[in-house]
Structure 1
């Protein structure tokens, strides 16, 4: 058996997959700390994005000078504060001036508030949801976890969109096969655990073509979703059990705890992306490493490329 790839190798593969893609015009909302600016500049150097900065210009330039970051000729749209930065960045996307949106040093709620605004935001018919693309040391392939940051207690209909968004992300990331586990505390359908009933319903929705593009099984407990040995011990036979590469959690609390457990106990990195809007949204934390920020940009570049390809196919 081959040994698992070393930490960071899965993200390096993401960056490599973007090598022949054009950089994505990206509206960066309120990049007023060194991490946001360094990430944007380095992502541009690697050809992942072409940043358009939206923030208080004097503050952005002071931050760059203090950190020794050369902004060169990066365009900056001057805004008075973080709310205005979010609104201006979203407006630029609506005007077609950018094909992706990137969070800077503002709160996630501020950015997402501008994104979901009914008249001026970036909503589509699809539910907006968040995905972590996790590089877990010792695990052979990336894991997509959804939704751990946007939808607090999603309904069955919202979960169907969350699953579809995650599947399309996996396809954009060129997963050879998308295997989706709908997680719960048990692999048995139990009316006392509503999440297990909804998991079974999601599987039937996939059978009926209401969710497409991946293999789906659930309910599955975490162990028999990702461990072939655990699945075999429980006698679970499916193409997903023990081999899942997409994990759909029952609610935000479960997803947040799962992702942070992998990050802080297993040393995993977690690239963040929001899907279901008109453009991919790069959603990272200021505490994330530079590699995680770059991986998030690479994910957005691959999603944008997949959308261009789908649009071209639809027009042809």
Structure 2
């Protein structure tokens, strides 16, 4: 687990730090995370929010922000809007959530006139590593899209595939397991119908850069023993790199079970916008926030050199 984590951090060592708009950083734990990312040379922070509260949070955290850019904003909604404007104008290459609700931040980004939308739906991905699985994997979407239809699931899949290639390279195609409760198509279970359609969309080039299979129950997606026992013939089953969940409840519960009961390392990142967005949780520690910053650095560099649009 530590090896996977360190390898991703190491990929950023020779890359420049990313200009990052920190939205409403008015709590000490946020300031500590920002200071950690600066010390790791991952970001150059632009603090956006009520100046007095930011200064108070920095004092409480024992963080010297005298050399950082600070942009005053009256409240969190204004801070989110200013961050989106900076990113749209090319003055910030990433955005980090501070002490505000996720929907406040994303509301400023998903507006049609924000300048940050792309042709694809915005989605969230957890990059995870856990001792009981031999390689890192992605869970998507467990944080933004509540009940995605087929078209949205296709975008969520493509976003995650693009992230996988940015982090791990193009030497092999990531294996996408489209999760459901069962591994057979059942007309009464929409998740299985969507899974079958996504596989055909992949066959027809509507989803690129991956091997896609489903429906697959969770055990069939990650356990070679379960695959053998059920006689499933698949290039993906038992060896998934990306787990596409049916909807937000199952995805969120799966991710948090792995983090809090399984001891998984996890980093969250928002994909599909013109800049990466670090949508960290209040419960996230420095380790998780640092890895989220590393993903933002890799994504920002990929966009700069034309690997992402």
Task: Output the CA distance in 1 between the equivalents of 2:224 and 2:132.
Answer: 14
Q: In the alignment, what sits opposite 1:3?
A: none
Match of 1:75 among 54, 69, 81: 69
Q: In the alignment, what sits opposite 2:80?
A: 86
Match of 2:204 among 196, 202, 208: 208
Match of 2:177 among 178, 181, 184: 181
SS at match of 2:305: helix
- Kindly tell me the number of residue pairs found equivalent between the two proteins: 307
Task: Output the CA distance in 2 between the equivalents of 1:207 and 1:299.
Answer: 29
Q: In the alignment, what sits opposite 2:226?
A: 230
- Per the normalisation by structure 2, the TM-score is 0.96
Task: Output the CA distance in 2 between the equivalents of 1:239 and 1:49.
Answer: 39
Q: Confirm or deny that 1:113 pairs with 2:96.
A: no
Task: Output the CA distance in 2 between the equivalents of 1:65 and 1:123.
Answer: 36
Greater mean deviation of Cα atoms: 132-141 or 164-173: 132-141
SS at match of 1:198: helix
Give, in angstroms, the shift of residue 311 of structure 1.
Answer: 5.6
* Contact persistence 1:114–1:121 (CA under 8 A): no
Task: Output the CA distance in 1 between the equivalents of 2:296 and 2:53.
Answer: 27
Give, in angstroms, the shift of residue 190 of structure 1.
Answer: 0.8
Q: In the alignment, what sits opposite 2:257?
A: 261
Provide the alpha-carbon RMSD of the alignment. 1.4
Alpha-carbon displacement from aligned partner over 1:121-143 (angstroms, at most 9, x marks no partner): 52111100000111223222112
After TM superposition, the runs of 4+ consecutive aligned structure 1 residues lying more than 3 A away are none
**1:167-178 residue pairs with structure 2 within 5 A?**
167-174=161-168, 176-177=171-172, 178=174
SS at match of 2:306: helix
Q: In the alignment, what sits opposite 1:4?
A: none
Q: In the alignment, what sits opposite 1:270?
A: 266
Give, in angstroms, the shift of residue 181 of structure 1.
Answer: 0.3
Give, in angstroms, the shift of residue 120 of structure 1.
Answer: 2.6
Q: Confirm or deny that 1:191 pairs with 2:187.
A: yes
Match of 2:142 among 138, 141, 148: 148
Greater mean deviation of Cα atoms: 39-48 or 74-83: 39-48
* Contact persistence 1:273–1:282 (CA under 8 A): yes
* Contact persistence 2:177–2:216 (CA under 8 A): yes
Match of 2:118 among 117, 121, 124: 124
Alpha-carbon displacement from aligned partner over 1:140-175 (angstroms, at most 9, x marks no partner): 211200000100011101100000000000001115
Greater mean deviation of Cα atoms: 44-53 or 204-213: 44-53
